Chain A
Amino acid sequence: MKLFAELIKTLDSTNKTNLKVEALASYFKKAENVDKVWTIAILSHRRPPRPINTTVLRSWAAELANIPLWLFEESYHIVGDLAETIALVVPASNESTQKPLSQFLKEFITLKKKDDQEKKSYVLENWSKLNYYERFVFTKLITGGFRIGVSQKLMTRALSKATEIDEDILAYKLMGNWDPDTITFEDLILRERPEDFLSKPYPFYLAYAIEEEVSGLGNVKEWSIEYKWDGIRAQVIIRNKELFVWSRGEELVTDKYPEFRQFVEEIPNGTVLDGEILPFPEGAIGTFNDLQTRIGRKTISKTLLAKTPVILKVYDILEWEEKDIRTSTYLERRKILEKLFLQYNNHNTGSNKNTLQLSERISLETWKDVAEERAKSREICSEGLMLKRNDAIYKVGRKKGDWWKWKVDPLTIDAVLTYAMRGHGRRSNLFTDYTFALWNRENTELVTFAKAYSGLTDAEFKQVDSWIKKNTLERFGPVRSVTPELVFEIAFEGIAFSKRHKSGIATRFPRILRWRQDKKIEEANTLEDLKAMIPSSK
């Protein structure tokens, strides 16, 4: 635990990726194997279930700190992190523990089944015996994940550095269901398995957004136009009768999309496809909102699977008949892809046929036609267009020149700041989470329509934060209502009617585009203006 707490402290105290990797790698070299397994589990979101709910933790902490519960809650709102608040308010101890990390986690597993009294004495004893940082880490392990900017990918890189095993192979070893309570480090990481090499993906080719006029790209005939879809970019690998699905973050997500299991039977071995995972509720491509119900879930229930199935929209083919074909031109690869789809559609007549779809190539004659097509994107839940040069090879990483994304402009509206809340983590104790409102039909009342957390510079956040502190009307726990005075231009990607929102409208990815210091609140937009933006076809 001591070593693990030190590790978390180091990770927490830097925002430089290299230093994080270094700290993790040195931990993986020093720690006991059994602790390493638990560390990997914690950093890959495989913690044992929460043994104690946070409500009782709060009341025990308040009791131990000898303060009323409301004061604990106020402190929590200001600190912005529950475990940190607890570690700060309970009486200080400067003892340190010799108990290994693995033992704490094993204790948590048995603790879950015990009654509240036993839980309480266990927790209180540990709080009083651990030093500040250990106390924080101990409580964090009970309450939830560490927000310390360590992705599974970063951890895998560090593990690779410490063990000298290839990163992609480690990523494969770490996927799937393994139980940190029973598996050994030897079995999980060190033992070599031939199948580890099967899963290796290719690096993704990524496009930049086009900033100049598209007409500058030359003859439109030299370009292929496809829709740009708003899902999860993914690589699907079929090798040796096995399926591997990699997300663009180079995370193995095979288990999250059971719909794709059928590809093993339908797609020949030695094939690697590049595409987009998209939600497909009610037989049509849905919005990113739909997909969000699937992301982050480790296990997918049958109901969810039926309600929000996913499909793969295939953009490209990188490996065919066990050969890397990335140096062929786009058109050559496209020809192979079309052949593959012909076979697929001939063999597959079942209802699952839709699960694999070929990205449409739109044939257009002029750049003006292209622009018109782009303008229609929102109606079909597409984000805009992709422009790909016909003779381009499949490159590595984000490169300019041959691939461009041409997204539709975000929708924007001028709204009034009405409520503010303190941020979390890096932004704790600073009002950075805002609620915005628009005028009702009569222009008499401001109606909340969206929350936004990003888009201002640090300097602007400071300015607005200080304004909020001076213009607070009322406080509701962590939330403050403020004098309606500041106007912001809010941008968002999509818009739809919604029953869950007071305004009756849901916006996708609302963020602050700029602070309209030139506008008075009377000049802000109305809800009617917002409604007028909803595409009529939906």
Chain B
Amino acid sequence: MLTPLLVFNENGIYCEAADVYIDPWRPVNKAIISHSHADHSRWGHKQYITHHTNIPIIKHRLGEINVSGKSYDETFTINNVKFSLHPAGHIIGSSQIRVEHKGEVWVFTGDYKIEDDGISQVFEPVKCHTFITECTFGLPPFKWEPQELVFNNINTWWDTNKSEGKTSVLFGYSLGKAQRLLKHLDSSIGKIYTHGAIENMTEVIRPMIDLPDTTLITKETKKTDLLGHIVLAPPSAHGSTWIRKMVPYVTASASGWMTFRGARRRRAIDKGFVLSDHCDWQGLLTAIKATEAHKIICTHGYTDIFSRYLREQGYDARTEKTQYEGELTDSEVDKADGGKS
């Protein structure tokens, strides 16, 4: 039997014909990286290939590594296998990875969303035979509202807190979500303060996109300075002494998991905004259809349920075990900031 173009082994997703890995979870010689979230871009590979835009980000995360950059739609060949990167719309610098060999085309999505978030390069459907997709939110209850509505709600919430003399604390991951929030916050309401992790990451991204000014919270920052303003913090800061010093404050989280009433209550967050950098149920189905692929491989999220549904719809769909953290809910973020939501 012919070896499939891509196989899932103990190190990651492997292309034997090219001797190269895609988003491997163990150290390898050559790795093509979709984006810089920790579960997709690990430390220790000898050679990294990723999108140009992602290079400063991945270096910020992993330090000095041997990395080469590619543009979207630029085809590069390794041992007669053709590779190219295509926008995934997940976070800034995120790519889908297209692999072509002897007329057969596979596409690996990494993480993706189809909505234009205003800061990431917009997702582009790529025609292929086999589509390797995430399905973090591959369940019908997940339905995103257009982000304009969500940001209106976030800004209204901030304004209301301000009128009540309180500080607004908004949680989002330091890479991706934080900049997306930042881009759409209405800075006419007040100042935007940041936690160190978010400030550092934002500094890296600032040269690439136009973002409002932020003020880093330091030891010298007085809590009275913060009143009425908004603080962007990573989820791991929730419940920390760092936050408690900001009294009186109200908290909110922006994540796809906020769909569930239970998720918000479990973390004792005052307000939940449903905002995700992944596809919702319908988004996944739309994206899959657009690829015209017949074979679908689900890597992380509600894989068993989602692939069963796809099979019923006539696809040749299956699940592969990976170490991507599809079920990264609020219960897991504490140990994995730099993850996603």
| A residues with CB within 8 A of B | 12-15, 65, 67-68, 70-72, 74-75, 78-81, 84-85, 88-89, 92, 424-430, 461-462, 465-466, 469, 475
What is the CA–CA distance of A297 and B275 in the complex, to the nearest angstrom? Answer: 43
B64 to chain A, nearest CB (A): 32
| A-B residue pairs in contact (CB < 8 Å), sample of 12 | A12-B265, A74-B305, A75-B140, A78-B302, A79-B141, A80-B260, A81-B261, A81-B262, A425-B262, A426-B266, A462-B334, A469-B327
Contacts of B195-234 to chain A: CB distance below 8 A: none
Q: Which of B140, B265, B312, B331 contacts A89 (CB 8 A)?
A: B140
Q: Name the A residues within 8 Å of B265 (CB-CB).
A: 12, 15, 425-426
Q: Name the A residues within 8 Å of B268 (CB-CB).
A: 15
Query: Are B259 and A71 in contact, with the CB atoms below 8 A?
Result: no
Q: Is there a chain A Cβ closer than 8 Å to B332's Cβ?
A: yes
Q: Which of B257, B264, B305 contacts A71 (CB 8 A)?
A: B305
Query: Are A466 and B262 in contact, with the CB atoms below 8 A?
Result: no
Q: Name the A residues within 8 Å of B73 (CB-CB).
A: none
Q: Name the B residues within 8 Å of A428 (CB-CB).
A: 260-263
Q: Name the B residues within 8 Å of A84 (CB-CB).
A: 260-261
Query: Are A429 and B304 in contact, with the CB atoms below 8 A?
Result: no
Query: Are B262 and A75 in contact, with the CB atoms below 8 A?
Result: no
A13-B264, A13-B271, A428-B263 known; A89-B141 Cβ under 8 A:
yes
Q: Is there a chain A Cβ closer than 8 Å to B10's Cβ?
A: no
Q: Name the A residues within 8 Å of B261 (CB-CB).
A: 12, 81, 84, 425, 428
What is the CA–CA distance of A336 and B139 in the complex, to the nearest angstrom? Answer: 67
Query: Are A92 and B143 in contact, with the CB atoms below 8 A?
Result: yes
Q: Name the B residues within 8 Å of A78 (CB-CB).
A: 139, 141, 302
Query: Are A80 and B262 in contact, with the CB atoms below 8 A?
Result: yes
Query: Are B262 and A88 in contact, with the CB atoms below 8 A?
Result: no
| B residues with CB within 8 A of A | 139-143, 257, 259-266, 268, 270-271, 302, 304-305, 308-309, 312, 327, 329, 331-332, 334
- The CB with the most chain A CB atoms within 10 A, among B259, B262, B302, B304, is that of B262
What is the CA–CA distance of A92 and B257 in the complex, to the nearest angstrom? Answer: 18
Instruction: Kindly report which residue of chain A lies nearest to residue B321, judged by CB atoms.
Output: A470
A430 to chain B, nearest CB (A): 6
Q: Name the B residues within 8 Å of A475 (CB-CB).
A: 304
What is the CA–CA distance of A425 and B260 in the complex, to the nearest angstrom? Answer: 9
B221 to chain A, nearest CB (A): 27
Instruction: Kindly report which residue of chain A lies nearest to residue B149, judged by CB atoms.
Output: A94
What is the CA–CA distance of A75 and B137 in the complex, to the nearest angstrom? Answer: 11
A14-B270, A462-B331, A475-B304 known; A65-B262 Cβ under 8 A:
no
Q: Name the A residues within 8 Å of B302 (CB-CB).
A: 78
Q: Name the B residues within 8 Å of A75 (CB-CB).
A: 139-141
Query: Are B140 and A429 in contact, with the CB atoms below 8 A?
Result: no
The 3 nearest A-B residue pairs measured at CB: A428-B262, A88-B141, A462-B331
Taking A13-B271, A78-B302, A469-B327 as given, write out 18 further A-B residue pairs in contact, using a Cβ cutoff of 8 Å, ordered by the A residue number.
A13-B264, A14-B270, A71-B140, A72-B140, A75-B140, A79-B260, A81-B261, A84-B261, A88-B141, A88-B143, A424-B262, A426-B266, A428-B260, A429-B263, A430-B331, A462-B331, A465-B331, A475-B304
Query: Are A74 and B139 in contact, with the CB atoms below 8 A?
Result: yes
Q: Which of A14, A70, A430, A469 contacts B266 (CB 8 A)?
A: A430
Q: Name the A residues within 8 Å of B331 (CB-CB).
A: 430, 461-462, 465-466
Q: Name the A residues within 8 Å of B304 (CB-CB).
A: 475
Q: Name the A residues within 8 Å of B260 (CB-CB).
A: 79-80, 84, 428-429
What is the CA–CA distance of A88 and B261 in the complex, to the nearest angstrom? Answer: 11
What is the CA–CA distance of A13 and B261 in the complex, to the nearest angstrom? Answer: 8
Instruction: Kindly report which residue of chain A lies nearest to residue B266, judged by CB atoms.
Output: A426
A178 to chain B, nearest CB (A): 31
A13 to chain B, nearest CB (A): 7
A428 to chain B, nearest CB (A): 4
A88-B259, A428-B260 known; A13-B141 Cβ under 8 A:
no
B63 to chain A, nearest CB (A): 28
What is the CA–CA distance of A467 and B259 in the complex, to the nearest angstrom? Answer: 24
Instruction: Kindly report which residue of chain A lies nearest to residue B268, judged by CB atoms.
Output: A15
Query: Are B329 and A65 in contact, with the CB atoms below 8 A?
Result: no
Query: Are A85 and B266 in contact, with the CB atoms below 8 A?
Result: no
Query: Are A85 and B141 in contact, with the CB atoms below 8 A?
Result: yes
A79-B141, A85-B141, A429-B263 known; A13-B270 Cβ under 8 A:
yes
Q: Name the A residues within 8 Å of B327 (CB-CB).
A: 469
Q: Name the A residues within 8 Å of B140 (CB-CB).
A: 65, 67, 71-72, 75, 88-89
What is the CA–CA distance of A428 and B331 in the complex, to the nearest angstrom? Answer: 11
Query: Are A462 and B332 in contact, with the CB atoms below 8 A?
Result: yes
Q: Name the A residues within 8 Å of B312 (CB-CB).
A: 68
Instruction: Kindly report which residue of chain A lies nearest to residue B272, judged by CB atoms.
Output: A13
Query: Are B143 and A427 in contact, with the CB atoms below 8 A?
Result: no
A14 to chain B, nearest CB (A): 7
Q: Name the B residues within 8 Å of A427 (CB-CB).
A: 262, 266
Instruction: Kindly report which residue of chain B lies nearest to residue A458, judged by CB atoms.
Output: B266
Q: Name the A residues within 8 Å of B139 (CB-CB).
A: 74-75, 78
What is the CA–CA distance of A363 and B259 in the complex, to the nearest angstrom? Answer: 61
Instruction: Kindly report which residue of chain A lies nearest to residue B139, judged by CB atoms.
Output: A75
B154 to chain A, nearest CB (A): 15
Instruction: Kindly report which residue of chain A lies nearest to residue B305, judged by CB atoms.
Output: A74
Q: Which of B262, B308, B332 contacts A426 (CB 8 A)?
A: B262
A459 to chain B, nearest CB (A): 9
- The CB with the most chain A CB atoms within 10 A, among B141, B142, B334, is that of B141
What is the CA–CA distance of A80 and B262 in the complex, to the nearest angstrom? Answer: 8
Instruction: Kindly report which residue of chain B lies nearest to residue A77, judged by CB atoms.
Output: B305
Q: Name the B residues within 8 Å of A70 (CB-CB).
A: 308
Instruction: Kindly report which residue of chain B lies nearest to residue A84, judged by CB atoms.
Output: B261
Q: Name the B residues within 8 Å of A430 (CB-CB).
A: 266, 329, 331
What is the CA–CA distance of A410 and B271 in the complex, to the nearest angstrom? Answer: 40
What is the CA–CA distance of A79 and B143 in the complex, to the nearest angstrom? Answer: 14
A13-B270, A475-B304 known; A429-B329 Cβ under 8 A:
yes
A85-B141, A92-B143 known; A71-B309 Cβ under 8 A:
yes
Q: Name the A residues within 8 Å of B270 (CB-CB).
A: 13-14
B276 to chain A, nearest CB (A): 14
What is the CA–CA distance of A269 and B263 in the complex, to the nearest angstrom? Answer: 53
Q: Name the A residues within 8 Å of B308 (CB-CB).
A: 70
Q: Name the B residues within 8 Å of A12 (CB-CB).
A: 261, 265
B304 to chain A, nearest CB (A): 7
B96 to chain A, nearest CB (A): 26
Q: Name the A residues within 8 Å of B334 (CB-CB).
A: 462
What is the CA–CA distance of A163 and B263 in the complex, to the nearest angstrom? Answer: 35
Q: Name the A residues within 8 Å of B271 (CB-CB).
A: 13
What is the CA–CA distance of A14 and B270 in the complex, to the nearest angstrom? Answer: 7
B337 to chain A, nearest CB (A): 15
A74 to chain B, nearest CB (A): 5
Q: Name the B residues within 8 Å of A13 (CB-CB).
A: 264, 270-271
Q: Name the B residues within 8 Å of A89 (CB-CB).
A: 140-141
What is the CA–CA distance of A444 and B309 in the complex, to the nearest angstrom? Answer: 39
What is the CA–CA distance of A92 and B331 in the complex, to the nearest angstrom? Answer: 28
What is the CA–CA distance of A426 and B259 in the complex, to the nearest angstrom? Answer: 13
B143 to chain A, nearest CB (A): 7
Instruction: Kindly report which residue of chain A lies nearest to residue B302, judged by CB atoms.
Output: A78
B116 to chain A, nearest CB (A): 20
Q: Name the A residues within 8 Å of B141 (CB-CB).
A: 75, 78-79, 85, 88-89
- The CB with the most chain A CB atoms within 10 A, among B143, B264, B266, B304, is that of B266
